Structures are given as C-alpha cells and as structure tokens.
C-alpha cells in the first residue's frame, strides 16, 4: 500500500484541460521511471501517447 511496484490510474486526466493533463501524465511518468516502478493508465487522449512506453488499444473488448 505504501510502496507499490505498479500504479494503476483510470482516466487520471479526465476532468483536466489538455495542458494540465499533459502535466499530470509527465509527473506520473517521471515518478515511476525515477523509482523504477510501473504505471498502467487508461486514457482516451491520444496526445498523451508519446509519454507512454507501451500502448495497447482495446477494441470491442479485445487488445
């Protein structure tokens, strides 16, 4: 609970404007890289994809 190896984030930028959303994803990406951890995020804003190491698309319930 206090030191997870994986961070799960479901739409962490959903209520934010584009600029703030980018800031949040940059912050998450920086923290997990700095700490040697992983993050799994569900996002719908494709402008954030360049900040991700791996992208999976879910379509009709399948990757």
Predicted pLDDT at 61? 83
pLDDT exceeds cutoff 80 at 48? yes
Q: What is the pLDDT of residues 16-34, one digit of tens each?
A: 998 999 999 999 999 999 9
Predicted pLDDT at 5? 92
Q: In angstroms, rounded to a whole number, what is the distance separating the alpha carbons of residues 11 and 29? A: 14
Predicted pLDDT at 20? 93
CA 29 to chain centre: 7
- pLDDT confidence band for 3 (50 / 70 / 90): confident
State how far the alpha carbon of 58 is from the alpha carbons of 4, 36, 55, 63, in Å.
Answer: 25, 26, 10, 5
Burial of 48 (0-12, 13-18, 19+ CB in 10 A): buried
DSSP bridge pairs for 18:
none
Give the domain ranges of the chain.
6-51
State whether residue 2 is helix, strand or coil.
coil
Of residues 2 and 38, more confidence is placed in: 38
């Amino acid at each position: 609970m206090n030191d997870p190896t994986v961070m799960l984030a479901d739409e962490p930028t959903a209520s934010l404007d584009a600029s703030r959303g980018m800031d949040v994803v940059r912050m998450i990406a920086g923290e997990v890289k700095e700490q040697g951890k992983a993050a799994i995020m569900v996002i719908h804003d494709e402008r954030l994809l360049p900040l991700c190491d791996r992208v999976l698309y879910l379509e009709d319930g399948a990757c």
